[in-house]
Amino acid sequence: MSDSKRPDRLQRQLTRRFSLLMLGLSFALAVGCLFVVRVQLQATAAVLQAAASEKVGLLLDAETSRLSSLARDYGRWDETYRYVERPEPGFVNENFGSSYQGLDVDFTAILGADGRERFRSGWPPRARLPASLRTQLAEQLAEAQRAPASEPRHYLVLFDGMPLLLTAAAVTDTEAERPANGLILMGRFFNQDYLARLSELVGGDLRFVPADAVRPPASWTLAQAVVPLSGDLGGRVLLLEAPVPLGWLPATLVLFAGSLLLCIAVSAWWMRRFLSERVVSRIGRFAELARLRKAGGLSAWPVDGNDEIDALAVAYNALGEEASEARLGLAQLEVTDPLTGVGNRRALERALDDLCAAQPAHASLLLLNLDGFKLVNDSLGHGAGDQLLQEVAYRLRKALEAPATLYRLGSDEFAVMLPACAPQAARAWALRLQAVLGGRFSFSGRQLSFSASAGVAAYRAGLSGADLLRHADLALAGAKARGRGEVAAFDPAMHESVSERMRLEQGLRAAIAAGAITPYFQPVIDAETRRPYALELLARWQFEGRAVSPLTFIRLAEELGLIGELTDALLARALPQFAALRARAPGLKLQFNLSALMLGDRGFADRLLALLLACGVPAEAVSAEVTETAALQEQGDELLGCLVRAGIGLHLDDFGTGYSSMTRLAELPFDTVKLDRSFVVLLGEGDETLARAVHDMATGMGMALIAEGVETEAQFAALSRLGYRRMQGYLFARPMSASALERWLAEDVSRV
């Protein structure tokens, strides 16, 4: 096809696609119309249900009031009172004859104080009042004998297979001064005639059906409701069904459909004309200009007006100018971290290559890594993490001096290149920057604090930029292996230690995923009986045939951001075992350690409560232990509050080893203080001052006490003399597996 025919082809394509679009729109609007009708029907049905149900309720209330008035009039009458005492046929003939039948009462009975019938009318042969009703009538009679003026009571019961609305009034004298000597009963059966009369009044169909036989209405045009009734109907309910009025529907559909078709027709005609005149013809012209430009003709499209096509021409003409500017911008973005605006890893690699190529006398590279940053992302979201990284970059850049340069290598790792900087000066810079990051960070009303690990590598002759960066990485890994907030300088021996750490990291990840972290339990003893009061949950890990120190792998899990997963996996294994132990010793409680890095994990409380429910362990049997230092972090208040509100206890662990604000501790919902073992050791040396002070402080604040690390009878005696009633330590039992604990408990039945 020639170029001159292309505009016609485009016009046909646009017209065809627009027609398909209109068809799709018509179908969608038709479906929408049906949906609107359905919603309107449901809304109308709901209104009708409520109105009809309310009307039935009003009719039944009116009937109840009428029966109450009749029963009260007949019950508070000297003649009725004497009749109950001495039944006489004349009273019945005179008062319950033809004139009484006009009162429209289906059921009448007079009961004496002994519960026997003195008179009955409308009572089915061989029918007996339900036992539950007889009991309620006896209670009402007893109350009426104490208070003759008591109001009638109403009952809804199933009598001889038929629902009966019954009113019972006390029989007393006209002034209601003498104790009641019986009850008069008047009732209305819900028979077919009465239900038909009610159905006619409410404009629907009323019937009693079994509750389990109620089904949704088979048609959109039928409203259905269960009328709320209180009474013993043997599982039956009063079902109301009423037709939904549809007088509005045909006119609405016709109007909607006509308006829809008219709009589509006008839109199609106008769109076809617009496409032909304002789009297709001008695009063909631009296509011709583009071919001329390719052949070396015009370099710009003409602008004839101010519509969208003209805007397209202006944009196309500006592309040439923007392309050169974009190339410059891309070159800058290639070496810039988009989040913080500092140099990225590629910029650092280029700068290091240039630095090493110059072979300076002194130069150093410093790497910084935020400790526990992953928990911020997991608990507060990546948006909060990004804001924190921006603030970190701002503080570091503000603290640096030229020619030092800041880079972000990824996630929470930053690099500082220090030209002409000796190793000792680089270490001083590391400490200075750690202090800068040790301050508080404010975010959404929260106060967050962090530490940073630092690795320092010095340039030596012959090193490449990649070598210097690798040395700094090894130094950073060595610093993180020592703990949080450490600084390490590169040493060739770090290659082996880093290899060992990598093996431990991989092993720990695999152990957590496989549930291979073993729960151990150490009993907490009641000092008066030496019986186990609670169990502290501890973690143990066997790696490559050897036991890894809990301090080592717990700290490693915190550095890797795995402490939450480790705690979840440990509790998932420990709680079923604890449930089995608690079945033997119902009073046992469980105490587990909650890392400071988990205090910002909002989902932990929900996961723990779900696990407790699945294992059948009540929340009141579990306590979380938080160290004194961790408790001072405000970001943990929400989680600790959730745990306490759920019934989980809260222990202040290692008390006395941190720097606490007593005002802050008083605000937190702790119920128990654990005395650190270092204070227990002082007791063995004859120094009771600190242990006594902790005891007085805790009891004064209404908290319980547990002494840790009790290993000798002398320590036990001293703690008992000071008033400590709960203790744990090697004197009583070492940490042990669940099976070993079962044997330990079985050795002395008196322990449980």
Active site residues: 708
b/e map of 293-331 (b: 16 or more CB within 10 Å)?
eeeeeeeebeeeeeeebeeebeeeeeeeeeeeeeeeeee
- Torsion of Cα atoms, 483 then 488 then 490 then 493, to 10°: -50
Residues in the chain: 752
613: helix, coil or strand?
Answer: helix
Cα atoms found within 13 Å of the Cα of residue 236, Cβ hemisphere only:
18
- In the 8-state DSSP scheme, what is residue 621? G
Rounded Cα distance, 41 and 224, in Å:
13
- As a whole number of angstroms, the distance between CA 362 and CA 348 comes to 18
Torsion sign (Cα): 332, 337, 342, 347 = negative
DSSP β-ladder status, 589-593 and 622-627: parallel
What residues have CB less than 8 Å from 200, skipping those under 6 apart?
none
Residue labelled with tokens 């400590």: 724
Taking every pair of Cα atoms in the chain, the longest distance, rounded to a whole number of angstroms, is 133
Q: What is the 3-state secondary structure (H, E, C) of 126-172?
A: CCCCCHHHHHHHHHHHHHHHHCCCCCCEEEEEEECCEEEEEEEEEEE
Token pair of 104 as six digits: 């429209």
Three-state SS sequence of 335-378: CECCCCCCECHHHHHHHHHHHHHCCCCCEEEEEEEECCHHHHHH
Nearest-CA neighbor of 268 among 19, 25, 10? 19
Residue 539 near residue 573, CB atoms below 8 Å = no
Contact 531, 525 (CB under 8 A): yes
CB 25 within 8 A of CB 264: yes
**Between vectors from CA 731 to CA 725 and to CA 733, what angle results, nearest 5°?**
95
Q: Please report which helix (H) or strand (E) contains residue 541, including its range.
A: strand 532-543
For the CA atoms of 119, 120, 126, 132, the dihedral, rounded to the nearest 10 degrees, stands at -90
540 three-state secondary structure: strand
Which amino acid does the sequence have at 536? Answer: E
Contact 166, 132 (CB under 8 A): no
- Token look-up 């320092």 returns 456
Closest CA to 581 of 540, 526, 521, 516: 521
Cα–Cα distance for residue pair 336/333, rounded to 1 Å: 5
Can you tell me the distance from the alpha carbon of 297 to that of 316, in angstroms, rounded to the nearest whole number? 16
Cα Rg of the chain, angstroms: 43
C-alpha span between 645 and 442 (Å, rounded)? 27
